[in-house]
Amino acid sequence: MQPLLQTKQLTKVYRVDAIETPALRGVNLEIYPGEFTALAGPSGSGKSTLLYLMGGLDKPTAGEVWLGGQRIDGLSKAQLAQLRLWQVGFVFQAYNLIPVLTALENAAFVLELRGEPREVREAKALEALQVLGMQDYAHRRPNQLSGGQQQRVAVARALAARPKIILADEPTANLDSKTGLALIEHMRSLNREQGITFVFSTHDPRLLERVDRIVRLEDGQIAA
């Protein structure tokens, strides 16, 4: 079977002024269709960086990223935008919600870009908000929501779009334990029932218990 997502000798060095921080040192990772994979490892080990590069949100210093047979690390902004529209969903720590849109409109945003009719996209977005216990907040704007609630809207947006693969950076961080557990169960059922592939970083032991595979990063490398 061909990997859905693959990194080859992926290397990232951040440069701030004259200081270089190596964040990834030659990561070779293969994610197969339908996998439910956690990235674990201490703070600063490179989990977020790896997720950003895998989704084409940032460019590697060296190495390659392949998504379903297409090399994506050198794509143009427009090509990457298409990729995010149709294939990859993100749940990242910076929520990136659109301030002038309500929770419902934010959750439906990708579907709107795809040109889905209003009733269809609102039904899908509302279903996703319900899963996250956010249906009563559907008509609020991000600045009228707490940080954890905003995060849930960002999760709903990714879930509503039903991409092939969802990359999530600590999706249950900032959630109370009941909501966190509901989110885990929902991700798991989307994975099992719809075959959506998940890769997420986490420190959450309840999430680590429920994964197929744990990839442990240490100091920018996959630990043995």
Q: Establish how many alpha carbons lie within 13 A of residue 201's alpha carbon, considering only the half-sphere containing its beta carbon.
A: 21
**Stretch 24-43: interaction string toward ligand ATP, x if CB under 6 A:** -----------------x-x
Other beta carbons within 10 Å of 207? 24
Decide if residue 16 touches ligand ATP (CB under 6 A): yes
**What is d(CA 85, CA 48) in angstroms, rounded to the nearest whole number?**
21
Closest to Mg ion by CB, 111 vs 158, is 158
Residue 14: phi and psi, rounded to 5, are: -85, 140
Closest to Mg ion by CB, 138 vs 158, is 158
**Which of ligand ATP, Mg ion, none does residue 16 bind to, with CB < 5 to 8 Å depending on kind?**
ligand ATP
Task: Give Cβ neighbours of residue 207 (< 8 Å, ≥ 6 apart).
Answer: 38, 171, 172, 180, 184, 200
**What is d(CA 71, CA 53) in angstroms, rounded to the nearest whole number?**
12
User: Tokens 């991700």 belong to which residue?
Assistant: 187
With CB under 6 A as the contact rule, the residue among 6, 7, 48, 197 that binds ligand ATP is: 48
User: Tokens 């945003």 belong to which residue?
Assistant: 109
The region of 39-47, 62-70, 71-79, 179-187 touching Mg ion under the rule CB under 5 A is: 39-47
Q: Give min distance, CB of 79 to Mg ion, in A.
A: 26
Decide if residue 133 touches ligand ATP (CB under 6 A): no
With CB under 6 A as the contact rule, the residue among 5, 7, 36, 47 that binds ligand ATP is: 47
**What is d(CA 196, CA 134) in angstroms, rounded to the nearest whole number?**
22
With CB under 5 A as the contact rule, the residue among 7, 48, 106, 202 that binds Mg ion is: 48
**Which of Mg ion, ligand ATP, none does residue 89 bind to, with CB < 5 to 8 Å depending on kind?**
none
Decide if residue 150 touches Mg ion (CB under 5 A): no
62-67 and 36-40 beta bridge pairing: unpaired
CB-CB contact of 101 with 177 (8 Å): no
Residues that bind ligand ATP (CB under 6 A): 14, 16, 21, 23, 41, 43-49, 201
Residues that bind Mg ion (CB under 5 A): 47-48
